[in-house]
Structure 1
Amino acid sequence: MTAAAETTDTGALVMRHADQLAQHTETPGMLTRTYLTPAHHAASALLAQWMLDAGMRVRRDAAGNVIGRYEGATPDAPALLTGSHFDTVRNAGSYDGNLGIILPIACIAAWHRQGRRFPFAIEVIGFAEEEGVRFKATLLGSRAIAGTFDHSVLERRDDTGTSMREAIAAAGFDAAALPAAAYHRQDVLAFVEVHIEQGPVLLDEGLPVGVVTAISGASRFMVQASGLAGHAGTVPMGLRRDAAMAAAEIGLYIERRCSGTPGLVGTVGVLEVPNGAANVVPGRAVFTIDIRAEQDAVRQAAVADVLREMQAIAARRNVSLDINQTHDAASVPCAPWLQAQLEQAIAGLGLPLRHLPSGAGHDAMAVAALTDVAMLFVRCGNGGISHHPDETMTAADAQAAADVFTRFVESFVPQQAAA
């Protein structure tokens, strides 16, 4: 097979491997693969085999991460890290997370066939857990690598009552060895994650790939609005203390406040009326708020405005609010020097250049505590649907991403060498 034929086949190989990996699921007919389940172990074994076939040395750490190392021209050279997660949400798509593991493995396989090595090593990490489905704790694999693993989550239990510590032991790993999974800064050059966009921007603009500028910060709240229940036919409109309408007005304000500012989004993802009935004025409503932005100052200003307006709405409607912040994460900028090298790789292939933020969280957020990070987004089909079985991409776009990644690695200059 010629080098040109190998290049042409990479996109098809990525798609084929995505289909094969999706066969490892807890639920027949839908892709669900949660942390340290039999399906999860089967997927890790398949990834490990592909890494071995690509000429990599493979190991698993105490968190269950699958790590393949393609040695550099000099043994024990610092490594360029790449990868993503192979756990999934329930009823997932085939490319979220998985793409960022199988694509670099396919590229390394091509270099291995060519006998090509680089002045640095390349390590592909299949992060064992990012989504947080089983134990309601996210980014476990990448936090272990970054040395920021929160050991308190080991006591969390899944729906069967099994603790994370017990699940790790049952898998043959030792939670006490988690600190040893952390990488040393001097052994790492950077981290680049390839990921399906999980949104419609590239699709709507007809672009195969894009360079991520930052992973948006997020603020989340759980809110309970308490008013006074009453009969729908006997309580006059002007005397109502309707908790549901207070929540609805707050939601509409969030929509207005977060519209028109690039990169700022606000969502009320849950809105419930506990024990509601068609003929009862709601006395209680429970809802969530999720506000994200590429720039922390933009997000924080929106949050402050929303909290202030919530109190004004509650006072006007004679409703009380119990507001609990459940999540607050700062944005993670992608390193400009890595963005520049991705830009050069894209330009060198004659592809249009597009920068965009990521509104979703990724393993790169955790790895940023260890080293500089970058992300390459790949076009998502079906209107940008992700975390869903209708999530899709094309072999042509997989090929374009593989070409960009290949060019990026082949031209990669570590920051200290470029300085």
Structure 2
Amino acid sequence: MIIEPKMRGFICFTSHPKGCEQNVLNQINYVKSKGAIDGAKKVLVIGSSTGFGLASRITSAFGSNAATLGVCFEKPGTEGKPGTAGWYNSAAFEKFATEEGLYAKTINGDAFSNEVKQEAIEAIKKDLGQVDLVIYSLASPRRTNPVDGKTYRSVLKPINGVYSNKTVDFHTGKVSEVSIQPVKDEEEIENTVKVMGGEDWKMWIEAMRDAGVLADGAKTVAYSYIGPEITFPIYRNGTIGKAKDHLEATAHELTDYMSSFNGEAYVSVNKALVTQASAAIPVIPLYISLLFKVMKEEGIHEGCIEQIQRLYSERLYTGGEVPVDDKGLIRVDDWEMREDIQEKVSKLWDIAGSDNLSEIGDLEGYKHEFMSLFGFDIEGVDYAADVDETTSVKSIQ
């Protein structure tokens, strides 16, 4: 079928298998161009199909020749209906990894469930023995906790009163004022922490250790974001921020837990990037479009793959101690948070409007990044050609 983008708000309901494949190949080629990384050789990536998780799997495989097991929750294409971008990304990754003789298997299911955890553990036992790196990169609006059977739903809300500021409709370029109502009660905060905090990460690591599939000296890394003060009310000081606080506290708990086998747990604070999750957060698209403009002018702009390749090569696997800040966090948002960068973005924010955003911001760059998440607007892809929407992930039969 011929697949075109079908959009509503910050959601794209279609994805393009050939576009996703080319996007994965572009990331692989970038990692290869940067040279070998003396990193982990057996890697589990939980949340492996898009964004930072996909970039982590690509960097592990094509930077360190690692065997990778991925866990994701995606929908395959059926005749006349495209699958999700994550499905096509996983299919492309497995194709290219297999061509280079690398082990690549994907488990498609609810990573929050005990069943998927056990399936991953059994696959590691059978095929890999143990893993020496676990990447935790899940993004979900809801989670069913296998302990109490309850389904928790996260909310994206400020905590200390109504928050009003600018935002942009990145499809039209219209800048407008948005007001977001605060949480109704403490339960909304607790539910968001249940979904997006560190509880499930800890359950994965404990289950894997109990099963004997974590190697001596294994590392585990989860991803977070802090951002500038302008986004604090809706992000760091909002419900998401409480979840991120919990995630970061969990890293310290896991570090103590893993010390018995010389293991290490980290949270990496990454740069603001266009992802399906960040596109849903009011204010963030406008901030990112201005940030992209400034960082590109300074020659320090990064996407997911550049961020994760730098995380691996300059933080996790340097041959020495992993550099962290005074809170124990790995910071690869360091270029974004440079004082001169933030000062320029802040000045642009003050004057940003519908009439000048195309000049002072990089809205076109934002749109491109968003479309590429779904395999569209990728150079070298013939979007007028017939494609097979039923492309399969070989390891999922």
Task: Give yes or no for TM over 0.5.
Answer: no
**Looking at CA atoms only, which structure, 1 or 2, has the larger radius of gyration?**
1
TM-score, normalised with respect to structure 2: 0.26
The structure whose residues are more often strand, as a share, is 1
